[in-house]
Amino acid sequence: MTTKIDSIIEDFELLDNWDDRYRYLIELGRTLPPFPEEERSDRTKVQGCASQVWLVSDVSRGEDGPRLAFVGDSDAHIVRGLIAILLALYSGRAARDIVATDPAGVFERIGLKDHLTPQRSNGLRSMVERIRADARRTLAETAQGA
């Protein structure tokens, strides 16, 4: 997964202005796989986002413990792009790595921190917290089953 997030960071760094970066962010959102209609529910909705955002995690077992894969969607183009970045950063990783990974450095490197509205920044934090909460819950469930 690191290669994909590194590639996204490099692409952002090649773009000189924020109009191009926003277009790239929207294009990233278009690469998300189709989100299952039956998963659009209150159970999968991310609270704290101004836009509609849904995230679903799937747990598998790996040599390094449980791993989580995520799918997500939003009704807003830029938010879909943010989801694509988060999935590149977190999806397919070990739960303990997800909990330990702070995305602040990634968002700072691509300049998102300074170019998102306060509402979108809050929504982004809510999405990150949801992903990390799913990983923490998975680790707790795994520890209980051991």
| pLDDT tens column, 6-17 | 999 999 999 989
- Radius of gyration (Cα) for the chain, nearest Å? 15
Task: Choose the catalytic residue: 5, 25, 46, 49.
Answer: 49
Q: Which of 129, 102, 108, 132 is nearest to 9 (CA)?
A: 108
Give the domain range for residue 6: 2-145
Domain count, the chain: 1
> So what's the pLDDT on residue 112?
83
- In the chain, % helix, strand, coil (3-state, to 5) comes to 60, 15, 25
Identify the CATH number of the domain in which residue 97 sits: 3.90.1010.10
65-74: strand order across its sheet = 53-62, 65-74, 93-94
Range scoring the smallest mean pLDDT among 8-12, 52-56, 73-77, 114-118: 114-118
- 65 φψ region: left (φ > 0), alpha (ψ -120 to 50), beta (else): left
Give the tens place of pLDDT for each residue, 13-67. Answer: 999 899 999 999 999 999 999 999 999 999 999 999 889 999 999 999 988 899 9
The whole-model pTM stands at 0.93
Residue 144 is a catalytic residue: no
Give the pLDDT band of residue 3 (cuts 50, 70, 90): low
Write down the mean pLDDT value for the chain. 92
pLDDT value at residue 23: 95
Determine the average pLDDT of the residues in 112-137. 92
Helices (runs of H) and strands (runs of E) counted in the chain: 7, 3
Give the pLDDT mean for 89-94: 96
Other CB atoms closer than 10 Å to residue 40's CB: what's the count? 15
